[in-house]
Chain A
């Protein structure tokens, strides 16, 4: 194996191009190293992107927060801009593995590895993120649904394409987001379920809500029916609970020895949705009484 510590985006693309599929990008490497060991993945060359200065940045640009793909989860969840504008993203990043993992792993990696219910990627998914992808042909922008191909499979081929940054619009004063997680214990445990929501509220009603849940299908699954119904509904506990029931229509949890049974997760998913909507209402001071 050959290990290249890249110094620029251009160098990454150059090395990938020359290797013609035999070189692969590595960021934190927390999953990749194990996958190479067990033979799940192989690479003749690893291209490390963690020292490319432009990819380390977390900054405000034209009303968007831009998070470089080499920013670690710890750098993200402890960043003042993230804490101020995106507390639910900070929460998602703070729940991945342990602090020791967060110190090297990245948000970009959490999306690209496409593991079911990856907490950071899930909390990000409802913020309408734009993923900036660069390859030989140039730069393109992709939304959440263009990123996930299946369980543990990304649409982005990291032997060809570099995710350079993630852009998220700064919310206005009517908008808030939430990330909820069901787990066996408070640290070092996989989520049995996680739910992320973002919504806008005015005049005591939801203007719109984005709702995603996992692991109930491929990547962060949209609760389409609940989203459609929620627009225009009053911000009340009855609304939260009906939306929770509707969310089930788009969820297909399977029984899994690590994450719990299908039946249990079908009973608890609506509660997680309720909690997420309640959290948004509380943040926006929109609950009566």
Chain B
């Protein structure tokens, strides 16, 4: 039996009848066609499906869709401002933190959630916080560097 879901995704009010046994990632990708959020393992182990829900980074592949009820959801599609990329996205591009790009949307969302809460993380904190994101390509060093750069830039921009 379908249930009525009311939620906000990337600032947009959404109401849909959904099958409650569906996972949130499938709702985002198949129903809302927001395919920026990726599916790697679908078991909560790789971080590819990371989104931000009520300010916290979560794995959308292991969340029942109804957990999104009355929640504020942000996916990679909601990060740019009028077509201008978010500084985290820009720093990932500049720093070569992206190769095949499959882990990238998840990592960017994880990074955003981290920097929103902790604008000046240490390298150790970055590693601990992002340890649930698996990247098969970059070797993590460039990701870590890009996160530190993005943090620096966001701090500077917030002072302007």
Are A187 and B131 in touch, CB under 8 angstroms? yes
A104→B68 CA distance, assembly (Å) = 13
Which among B58-66, B76-84, B92-100 touches the partner chain?
B58-66
Which among A28-36, A133-141, A175-183 touches the partner chain?
A28-36
A236→B62 CA distance, assembly (Å) = 47
Q: Residues on A close to B: CB < 8 A?
A: 1-3, 5, 26, 29-30, 33-34, 36, 46, 48, 50, 74, 94, 97-101, 103-104, 187-188
Are B58 and A1 in touch, CB under 8 angstroms? no
B50 close to A (CB within 8 Å): yes
A34→B44 CA distance, assembly (Å) = 9
B122 close to A (CB within 8 Å): no
A187→B140 CA distance, assembly (Å) = 14
B131 proximity list for chain A (CB < 8 A): 98-99, 187-188
A-B contact count (CB 8 A): 75
B43 close to A (CB within 8 Å): yes
A214→B3 CA distance, assembly (Å) = 42
A48→B66 CA distance, assembly (Å) = 9
Within 8 A of A (CB), among B20-42: 20-21, 23
A5 proximity list for chain B (CB < 8 A): 66, 69
B45 close to A (CB within 8 Å): yes
Q: Given A29-B64, A33-B62, decide whether A97 and B44 contact each other with a Cβ distance below 8 A.
A: yes
How far apart are B18's CB and chain A's nearest CB, in angstroms?
9
A33, A99, A100: residue with the most chain B Cβ atoms closer than 10 Å: A100
Are B57 and A29 in touch, CB under 8 angstroms? no
Q: Given A2-B20, A3-B20, A188-B45, decide whether A101 and B67 contact each other with a Cβ distance below 8 A.
A: no
Partner of B47, one of A33, A46, A74, A100: A100
B129 close to A (CB within 8 Å): yes
A21→B60 CA distance, assembly (Å) = 28
How far apart are A217's CB and chain B's nearest CB, in angstroms?
27
B69 proximity list for chain A (CB < 8 A): 5
How far apart are A69's CB and chain B's nearest CB, in angstroms?
16
Within 8 A of A (CB), among B131-148: 131-134
B23 proximity list for chain A (CB < 8 A): 33
Are A3 and B3 in touch, CB under 8 angstroms? yes
Are A3 and B63 in touch, CB under 8 angstroms? no
Partner of B67, one of A29, A74, A188: A29
A131→B69 CA distance, assembly (Å) = 29
How far apart are B160's CB and chain A's nearest CB, in angstroms?
30
How far apart are A193's CB and chain B's nearest CB, in angstroms?
21
Are B64 and A99 in touch, CB under 8 angstroms? no
B105 close to A (CB within 8 Å): no
Are A103 and B62 in touch, CB under 8 angstroms? no
A3, A26, A97: residue with the most chain B Cβ atoms closer than 10 Å: A3
Partner of B58, one of A46, A97, A104: A104
Partner of B44, one of A1, A30, A48: A30
How far apart are A90's CB and chain B's nearest CB, in angstroms?
13
Per-position binary interface string of chain B over residues 45-60, scored 1 when its CB falls under 8 Å from any chain A CB and 0 otherwise: 1010010000011110
